[in-house]
Amino acid sequence: MLDALRQPWPWYVAGPLIGLVVPVLWLLTGKAFGVSTSFRDICAAVTPGRFEYLRYDWRTGAWRFAFVAGILIGALIAVTVLASPDPVVGISEATRADLAALGITSRTGLFPSDLISWRSLGTLPGFVVVVLGGFLVGFGARWADGCTSGHAITGLVGRQLPSLLAVLGFFAGGLVSTFLLLPLALR
Amino acid sequence: MSTRVADAIPRREGGSTREPEPVAARTPAGLLLRSLAVGTAFGVLLVKSEAVSWFRIQEMFRFQGVHMYGLLGSAVLVGMAGIAALQRLGYGEPPGSGLDVLPKKESRGLNRHYWMGGAVFGLGWGLLGACPGPIYALIGTGATVFAVALASAVTGAWTYAALRPRLPHF
């Protein structure tokens, strides 16, 4: 049993379980599932009253900090008790070939350590991917009023037009990064 | 926990709908523990599904695998079914009236901030290969370099707060 759980979970098992997070969280807490509001809450806690957007009691997001703390604990469980025996993520050979053509050859782990590591932060590709990428994720998620969890999952579950527009935006931006910015940064 | 699940959410009685009561005010410790528990399950799911993997995000944006599409698509379908089931059990709005158990995003005009902000988010997602949930999850896996990504993301959110009056909305 544990051996089976240690394997990577196929999308048709993990996807439905992720979908259940929306109704289960709502039933247990009355809250709508979304992660990126935590970035706003952190800002509101650190620089309260500086901007109108941050003028509220960040403690209204206390439940979300507990949720986020849970994400860290769950992730730790997933790489210890439930650690996969094979450290290679089984992406398609076509993707491997494309990445190799860009100079990304590391295969093991959840992300390419030749691109994303403490040491790579000082290089142009590492800086672009981690620092600029993170900045755009935070800025864009707040401008769009939601991220993958709030729009692509909760919003689409609620059949909300704004969320569909946001998800189309996610993909447009992701394609530009994948086929333009990333190759430029890795040149 | 002393409170039962059913106490957390008011049920619809006789067709009238009450706003969900502020659970936090009533059982703050219970609310935090429940949030922590669901978050823990979500963290396991994010990592075991490989949704936190930069490689999987690249495969998705290159349209070279079904994994991420299946993951998100099945999550949305099951989420819809779950919410519909809750409505049938008497929670929130009745079925067919729209999903008012979850907050509505305001929709008007060109809705510019949703797709413009979404595109900026997508630029970041394509580079970093992780969205907010996975950023936290990756830190939890011990990949401490993602704390830098988190600090950048919070800085991005702060910059949005500063520029907000000058950015298009709707």
The residues spanned by each domain of chain A are 1-83, 115-187
What is the C-alpha separation between A58 and A42, in angstroms, rounded? 7
Question: Which residue of A lies nearest to B29 if distances are taken between CA atoms?
Answer: A63
Report the percentage of chain B scoring pLDDT > 70: 78
What is the C-alpha separation between B145 and B153, in angstroms, rounded? 13
Integer angstrom CA distances of residue A113 from A110, A119, A179, B131: 9, 9, 20, 18
Residue B120 forms part of a structural domain: yes
Confidence of residue B18 (pLDDT cuts 50, 70, 90): very low
Give the least confident one: A40-49, A126-135, B114-123: A40-49
Rg (CA), chain B: 19
Partners of residue A109 on adjacent β-strands: A88
Domain extent, residue B119, equals: 105-170
Tens digit of each residue's pLDDT (9 = 90 or more) over A117-133: 999 999 999 999 999 99
Residue type, B69: Y
**What integer is the mean pLDDT of B47-51?**
97
The per-residue pLDDT for B9 is: 52
The per-residue pLDDT for A47 is: 92
Residue B158 forms part of a structural domain: yes
Residue B11 forms part of a structural domain: no
Q: Do B36 and A73 touch (CB under 8 A)?
A: yes
Tens digit of each residue's pLDDT (9 = 90 or more) over B8-17: 555 544 444 4
A155/chain B closest Cα distance in angstroms: 8
Q: Which of B5, B31, B44 to mutate to test the interface with A (most CBs of A within 10 A)?
A: B44
Confidence of residue B91 (pLDDT cuts 50, 70, 90): confident
Total tally of structural domains belonging to chain B: 1
CA A94 to chain centre: 23
Q: What is the pTM of this model?
A: 0.91
- Give the ipTM: 0.97
Contacts of B150 in chain A (CB under 8 A): 134
Contacts of A56 in chain B (CB under 8 A): none
Integer angstrom CA distances of residue A13 from A4, A43, A109, B42, B78: 12, 36, 21, 13, 11
Q: Do A74 and B38 touch (CB under 8 A)?
A: no
Q: Do A135 and B159 touch (CB under 8 A)?
A: yes
Residue B166 forms part of a structural domain: yes
Alpha-helical (H) ranges within A30-117 are: 37-46, 62-79, 93-101
Percent helix, strand and coil across chain B, each to the nearest 5: 60, 0, 35
Q: Do B157 and A42 touch (CB under 8 A)?
A: yes
Q: Do B114 and A166 touch (CB under 8 A)?
A: yes
Q: Which of B7, B26, B47, B112 to mutate to test the interface with A (most CBs of A within 10 A)?
A: B47
Say if residues A177 and B122 touch (Cβ distance below 8 Å): yes
Tens digit of each residue's pLDDT (9 = 90 or more) over A138-186: 999 999 999 999 999 999 998 899 999 999 999 999 999 999 999 999 9
Of A127, A158, A129, A164, the C-alpha closest to A144 is: A164
Structure tokens at A143: 């401008």
Give the least confident one: A11-25, A85-99, A148-162, B85-99: B85-99
Residue B78 forms part of a structural domain: no
Say if residues B100 and A26 touch (Cβ distance below 8 Å): no
Residue B157 forms part of a structural domain: yes
Say if residues B1 and B33 touch (Cβ distance below 8 Å): yes
Say if residues A15 and B122 touch (Cβ distance below 8 Å): no
Of A174, A136, A149, A134, the C-alpha closest to A36 is: A149
Structure tokens at A10: 């196929």
**What integer is the mean pLDDT of B111-133?**
97
Indicate the average pLDDT of chain A: 95
Partners of residue A90 on adjacent β-strands: none
